[in-house]
Structure 1
């Protein structure tokens, strides 16, 4: 399962290396990217069409892809269970880092 879950972080900068370690499997990372990009697509669609009920799908889509990545490919417990806010930030920073070439897509 997850590495040291009793560990506490005092900042996101301190947390992010741990977050990346928990996402070392490329398929897991890619599933996170798919979920995050679909979240953006859902938001854009809801805004363009004013069909606000689509926004209810965001947690299912965002977490669904990520959790499949963790439980099936990474074989660890998602960091969001222990660090919900840092983990959410980590999803978006990891996507940005992948799109800018800082980490492997």
Structure 2
């Protein structure tokens, strides 16, 4: 079922409903944290080739969460930009305790 969202503010509640399973949320968190670590390592090592791992790591953890725990299709397939932003907003919300791990 396709949804037409007019803004990220409208999309984010839908995004959170697609991430109810705590294991799925944890896997998203781990993937996002690893992406940040890859960015740091790439800068420290002065080797931009490490950045090629970012999509594999970030989406890999998230998609395992969706396919095996949440049992739904990632929002990325229909709303790639809102979904990417949603990942980072949810990451921040987990860091600040607004969303439980």
TM-score, normalization by structure 1: 0.95
State the aligned residue count.
101
Partner of 1:86: 82
**Equivalent runs, 1:14-93 vs 2, <5 Å:** 14-93=10-89
Give 1:7 deviation, angstroms: 1.3
Residue aligned with 2:97, SS: coil
Unaligned runs of 5+ in 2: none
Runs of 4+ that moved beyond 4 A: none
Q: Does 1:97 align with 2:60?
A: no
1:34-72 deviations in Å (ceiling 9; x for gaps): 000000000000001101110000000000000000000
Unaligned runs of 5+ in 1: none
Q: Choose from 3, 9, 16 the match for 1:7.
A: 3
TM-score, normalization by structure 2: 0.98
Distance 2:40 2:4 in 1: 35
RMSD: 0.5
